[in-house]
Amino acid sequence: MSLSHSGLCLVAAAVLTGLALSAAPAASAMAAEPAAATAAVSSAKRAAIAKRGDLAIHYDIVGDLKSPKTPLLVLHGAYMSADAMAAMVDRFARTRPVIVLDQRGHGRTGDGPGPITYEAMADDAAAVLDAAGVKQADVFGYSMGGGAAIQLAVRHPAKVAKLVTASAGTRLDALYKEVLAGIEQITPAVFDNSPIRKEYDRLAPRREDFPRLVEKLKVLDATPFDWSDDMKALKHKTMIVMGDYDIMGPEHGVEMFRMRGGGAPALAAQGFLSAPPPARLLILPGTSHIGIMAEAETIVAATVPFLDDATPPMPAGFF
């Protein structure tokens, strides 16, 4: 059965950006967690502003940046906000301090001059780290935020310790052509009365800027890029996270994993890992682009050992 024009728009919007997410679902995803743990994390959260030219970038610090643990910078996807990343942020914050920002055009930061580009978002993230007094952070980026995370590592390598990308690729043509075709049909009206538009209106400094955000993101999503050489040249340990029904095929996740030195035959031939590997790959079964954000518990549990540089455990009874 084929989709109608409006149906294709809605599906494309949801699939590409995780638009079904808002602060409410993020909060409900945490409902099963111990109340004391959630309250402790929330009480440690404080808001701040980083200035970059005419742009005032809103960000939150969760936890103590004086902790011996390397801080984690979290970059959200398109049409989202720092609040929408709560399910991830609150879990990560139990193990380390976290910085999460509202990217340009989004949330409390709102629109700024010029286009939304991955390079500009990377420079924004670098400005946030400077404003927070953080010389180096691990970085976790989802979807659009994953692209910004890669560019942060490329453009500001000294500011990045470890890199984690979730549902992000290194080239535009890795996305399914059906997704790209659907993006072209998105209009601001697609979001009327949606949780996404309501959340934007709740947070944005200027509600009337929403059509401008849609247009800027459509331009971003139609602009070809290929960071394959940059990805291969990075020196950072890297973790790749994808769903098996993501906006690009799982083979691209494997490609990125190998770009970062993952899956070396010599290591695989040992049968076990005696040291932390240079790259890790997590492909979640039965998981879509939006579904990634419903798997916060699984993703955080798999990512924390990577961030801690832990050697994968040996099972009992083999040697």
295 has a pLDDT exceeding 70: yes
Mean pLDDT of 251-255: 98
Q: What value does the mean pLDDT take over residues 99-118? A: 97
Residue percentage of the chain with pLDDT more than 70: 87
Q: Quote the pLDDT of residue 43.
A: 53
Distance of CA 74 to the CA centre of its chain: 6
Structure confidence by residue, pLDDT tens digits, 261-293: 999 999 889 898 989 999 999 999 999 999 999
Q: Which residues, 6 or more positions from 19, have their beta carbon under 8 angstroms from its beta carbon?
A: 13, 79, 191, 194, 196, 290
For the chain, how many residues are written?
Answer: 319
Residue 8, pLDDT score: 39
Q: How much is the average pLDDT of 218-242?
A: 97
Split at pLDDT 50, 70, 90, the class of 318 is confident
More confident residue, 179 or 35: 179
The confidence score (pLDDT) of residue 172 equals 97
Model confidence, pTM:
0.89
pLDDT tens sequence across 2-54:
333 333 344 444 444 444 333 334 433 444 454 444 445 555 789 999 999 99
Angstrom distance (rounded) from CA 94 to CA 96? 6
Pairwise CA distance, residues 319 & 305, whole Å: 23
